[in-house]
Amino acid sequence: MRALPRPPVHGRLAPPDVTSEQVQRQATMVRLMSITESFCATRLLDGAEATMNPGANELTSIIWDDAAIDATKTWESQKDAFKKWFDVRPDWTEIDGLAEARNAVAHGLGSLTRRQLKSRASTMTKLGRTKISVANDRLLLTDADLVRAVKKCRDLIAELDELTR
């Protein structure tokens, strides 16, 4: 069986100048941020459940389910819940930038999304805090960017784990 010829690149598909290394770095960024976000959400909810009994009755269970969903919808809602529920206020500055990078990869295939372009100044400020380069509205991730991201995510996880025990 013969392989079909490659179709021409159109629309939001990665341009031909994107290397396999760049694609791998992008995938690593998405996975790293997914792990971090999942840990934060789980730690937030586990910590809150440890201080209350959300299954005490049907009413508290319903209220808790809604509160848990609202608290973990976005990074902003998680940050707010950590502050309100635990008075925990880590420095989210670089994590916000890494979340911007993750969104560019996950929703823009490595290019800034329409939403990010609409608020370009804010997006570029956040990305600038991570030292991630952008050229022609495309992220240019390096191995050093990933090493810094791993350290920042690891530090955040350790801090939240310690402060919400």
Tell me the average pLDDT across 121-128.
96
Residue 77 lies in a domain: yes
Residue 11 falls inside a structural domain? no
Per the structure, how many domains does the chain have? 1
pLDDT, tens only, 10-53? 455 556 668 899 999 999 999 999 999 999 999 999 999 888 87
Question: For residues 162 and 115, what is the distance between their CA atoms, to the nearest angstrom?
Answer: 35
Contact indicator for 72, 45 with CB cutoff of 8 Å: yes
Per the confidence metrics, is the pTM higher than 0.75?
yes
Which pair of structure tokens corresponds to residue 121?
């100044």
pLDDT band per the 50, 70, 90 thresholds, residue 131: very high
154 domain-assigned:
yes
Q: Is residue 89 part of a domain?
A: yes
Task: Name the residue range of residue 149's domain.
Answer: 20-163
Residue 148 domain-assigned (yes or no) = yes
Q: Is the residue at 2 inside a domain?
A: no
Cβ atoms of 112 and 12 closer than 8 Å? no
> Is 141 among the domain residues?
yes
In a domain, residue 131? The reply is yes
**Average pLDDT over the chain, rounded to whole?**
89
